Amino acid sequence: MNVRKLTILQLRDSDRAISSLTRIFETELTRYRIALPRGFREEVDCDEDTILFLHTTFAPLEMAEVRELLPPSEDGMIPVVTIDENGQILMQAFGNSESQRLSLETGFAHYYSRSRDQLWKKGETSGHTQKILRILAPFDRRFLVYQVVQEVAACHEGYYSCFFRERIPGGTWKQLPIPRNFLPEKN
């Protein structure tokens, strides 16, 4: 049985500042939720592989601008959180050394698709590009934050952000007020 790994971001609820980024196995999620403070909120991305946990007590990480390549983890990847100019989290993906180099050189966000095993420039086919304003990292340099100007939508489902719904206790969904800027074509 192949168990997925999830990316977990803790955010301070008041301003959505990043407090931590952790990777866990999906089988550990229930135990992770139990350890969270009461009253947390949970937003889930379109692919249900990145979860934002929001709470008022989460302290934000200090971030510094980076202009050099960060070393990837042992699997060759580094998590990348993408935010807009106002700090809204748009998506989470992965990069490798080559995608980091291209992002620094071109000024546009590049990532590495683990499922397709290839580099990709966000918006190359759709036109929904991400012009990089700044590249940030926490002091431990375990992940990157691309602050971008997002054209049209970050999410392949047409939403401005991939985080357009909140999981309500009991497993139901609540739609968040995230604009849907286009309807994807059905294959």
Tell whether 59 is covered by a domain.
Answer: yes
The CATH number given to whatever domain includes residue 134 is 3.10.20.810
Q: Cα separation of 159 and 164, whole Å? A: 7
119: domain range?
A: 5-175
Q: How many domains does the chain have?
A: 1
Q: What is the pLDDT of residues 64-82, one digit of tens each?
A: 999 999 988 888 899 999 9
Q: Cα separation of 96 and 108, whole Å? A: 15
pTM for this entry: 0.94
Tell whether 133 is covered by a domain.
Answer: yes
Q: Cα separation of 135 and 158, whole Å? A: 25
Q: What is the pLDDT of residues 150-164, one digit of tens each?
A: 999 999 999 999 999
Tell whether 161 is covered by a domain.
Answer: yes
